[in-house]
């Protein structure tokens, strides 16, 4: 009983500490370290910055609880200032800003389950320093951008000399009805995956950007890609099991389509029925040929029966066991073999039973 009372007291003390750290807000605010919950919509706000995470602020969480932060066509919806870090923005809806969510030379942060629409730039990660390259480590996950000039805009310092920023991830997002779905400018080594990029004038816009990695994305835009400058990029990952952004099958490259449904993925040959086009897709011949080596096919892959996974067995070192594994798979995946097995068991069982009866 005494132990129970102590446990309850500790739990209540922890709860009061948590509550003390969490702040409910109803309007635009400056967010220093702590957790903030927006408890009502903000409509037609006319300010230069609404939610301000100031310079050097750390460990800031803003949870809008799906409330709307609406501006009046100018200013910043959420502004994360220089050297701020460990910032989490989640469950926010923003509209009608010059810039919706804006990182100014800040990083080590996450934006998730957040939607920005009808703004000049929906999401912006901007490097300003002249001493970059800078590893910003910003992840945008389950976010959507709609009806913006730039949906997701990743931009380094574009002065002279230009200085790149890197390590920004766009994962499981959606961008639509924008001029540039994703614009990459003075940046490198970013990852864009599991993302639907559709009904934009330009799906992805490239300006002095290198070694970005695209995989498991859906492209369906007026122009899927726009190369203002041609630099090397990567267009697929290793073929493996996963959830396709469109259709069914293993993951690898991307689904390439257009408004009339006769894009490369819609029309390619998949003679071996593995769910991937049989030929790589040439993305651009410049500066040297770039390919999506695993473009998705519109055809669902042939279902392969596999009783045991043999892929972990080496064809050289474990040849015998590999053949046994294949034999077991063949046996259990062949209806006639299964039928014959049961028939044999039935016959042997019946013979034994008869022998037993005669013996008695
Ligand atoms: Ca408004
Ligand atoms: Ca194929």
- For residue 229, is it within any domain? yes
Complete DSSP assignment for 281-329: EEEE-SSS-EEESSPBPSSPPPPPP-SS--TTS-TTTTHHHHHHHHHHH
Same domain for 218 and 353, yes or no, is no
| Contacts for 264-273: CB closer than 8 Å, 24+ residues apart | 264/295, 265/295, 265/296, 265/297, 265/298, 266/298, 267/298, 268/295, 268/297, 268/298, 270/297, 270/299, 273/299, 273/301, 273/302
Is 50 exceeded by the pLDDT of residue 15?
no
- For residue 309, is it within any domain? no
pTM: 0.82
Res 12: pLDDT = 46
Least confident window among 131-145, 278-292, 316-330: 316-330
Compute the radius of gyration of the chain from its Cα atoms: 28
Here the CATH number for the domain that contains residue 245 is: 2.160.20.10
Å from CA of 94 to ligand 1 middle: 10
Is 60 exceeded by the pLDDT of residue 228?
yes
The total domain count for the chain is 2
Same domain for 130 and 229, yes or no, is yes
Interatomic CA distance for residues 113 and 97, integer angstroms: 18
Residue 329 binned pLDDT confidence (cut-offs 50, 70, 90)? confident
Is 60 exceeded by the pLDDT of residue 23?
yes
Bridge partners (DSSP) listed for residue 192? 170, 214
Å from CA of 358 to ligand 1 middle: 94
Per residue in 124-174, pLDDT tens?
Answer: 999 987 777 889 999 999 999 999 999 999 999 877 667 889 999 999 999
Same domain for 102 and 162, yes or no, is yes
What does the pLDDT average to over 240-252? 96
- Show the domain range for 88: 23-292
Token pair listed for 114: 């957040």
- Average pLDDT over the chain reads 91
Mention every residue, 6+ apart, whose C-beta is less than 8 A from residue 118: 95, 96, 146, 147, 148
Given a contact cutoff of 8 angstroms between Cβ atoms, the answer to whether 148 and 122 are in contact is yes
Same domain for 141 and 272, yes or no, is yes
Ligand number with the minimum distance to the CA of 274: 2
Same domain for 338 and 268, yes or no, is no
Same domain for 255 and 347, yes or no, is no
Å from CA of 225 to ligand 1 middle: 31
Res 212: pLDDT = 98
Given a contact cutoff of 8 angstroms between Cβ atoms, the answer to whether 298 and 276 are in contact is no
Per residue in 331-360, pLDDT tens?
Answer: 888 878 778 888 889 999 898 888 888 876
Within a 10 A sphere around the Cβ of 358, how many other Cβ atoms? 7
Interatomic CA distance for residues 357 and 308, integer angstroms: 40
Same domain for 252 and 143, yes or no, is yes
Q: Please give all residues whose CB falls under 5 A of ion ligand 2, grouped by chain where several chains appear.
A: 270, 272, 274, 276, 278
Same domain for 284 and 325, yes or no, is no
Å from CA of 73 to ligand 1 middle: 7
Interatomic CA distance for residues 220 and 233, integer angstroms: 19
Is 90 exceeded by the pLDDT of residue 54?
yes
Is 50 exceeded by the pLDDT of residue 18?
no
Complete DSSP assignment for 254-284: -EEE-TTS-SHHHH---TT-SSB-SS-EEEE
- For residue 338, is it within any domain? yes
Res 16: pLDDT = 43
């Amino acid at each position: 009983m005494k132990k129970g009372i102590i446990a309850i007291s500790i739990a209540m003390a922890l709860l009061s500490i948590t509550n003390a750290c969490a702040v409910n807000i109803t309007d635009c605010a400056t967010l220093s370290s702590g957790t903030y919950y927006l408890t009502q919509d903000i409509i037609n706000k006319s300010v230069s910055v609404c939610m301000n995470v100031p310079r050097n602020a750390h460990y800031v969480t803003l949870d809008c609880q799906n409330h709307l932060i609406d501006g009046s066509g100018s200013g910043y919806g959420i502004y994360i200032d220089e050297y701020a870090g460990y910032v989490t923005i989640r469950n926010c809806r923003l509209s009608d800003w010059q810039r919706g969510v804006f990182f100014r030379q800040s990083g080590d942060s996450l934006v998730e389950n957040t939607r920005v629409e009808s703004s000049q730039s929906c999401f912006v990660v901007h490097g300003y320093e002249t001493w970059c390259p800078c590893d910003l480590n910003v992840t945008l996950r389950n976010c959507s951008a709609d009806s913006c000039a730039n949906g997701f805009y990743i931009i380094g310092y574009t002065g002279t000399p230009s200085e790149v920023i890197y390590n920004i991830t766009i994962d499981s997002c959606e961008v639509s009805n924008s001029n540039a779905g994703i614009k990459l400018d003075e940046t490198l080594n970013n990852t864009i995956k599991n993302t639907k990029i559709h009904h934009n004038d330009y799906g992805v816009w490239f300006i002095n950007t290198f070694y970005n990695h695209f995989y498991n994305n859906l492209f369906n835009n007026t122009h899927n890609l726009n190369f203002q400058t041609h630099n090397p990029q990567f267009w697929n990952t290793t073929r493996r099991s996963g959830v396709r952004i469109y259709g069914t099958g293993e993951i690898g490259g991307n689904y390439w389509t257009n408004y009339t449904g006769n894009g490369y993925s819609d029309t390619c040959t998949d003679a071996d029925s593995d769910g991937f086009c049989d030929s790589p897709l040439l993305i651009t011949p410049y500066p040297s040929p770039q390919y999506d080596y695993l473009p998705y096919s519109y055809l669902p892959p042939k279902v392969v029966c596999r009783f045991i996974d043999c892929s972990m067995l080496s064809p050289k070192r474990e040849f015998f066991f590999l053949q046994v594994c294949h034999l077991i798979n063949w046996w259990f995946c062949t209806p006639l073999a299964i039928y014959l097995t049961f028939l044999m068991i039935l016959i042997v069982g019946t013979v034994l039973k008869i022998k037993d009866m005669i013996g008695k």
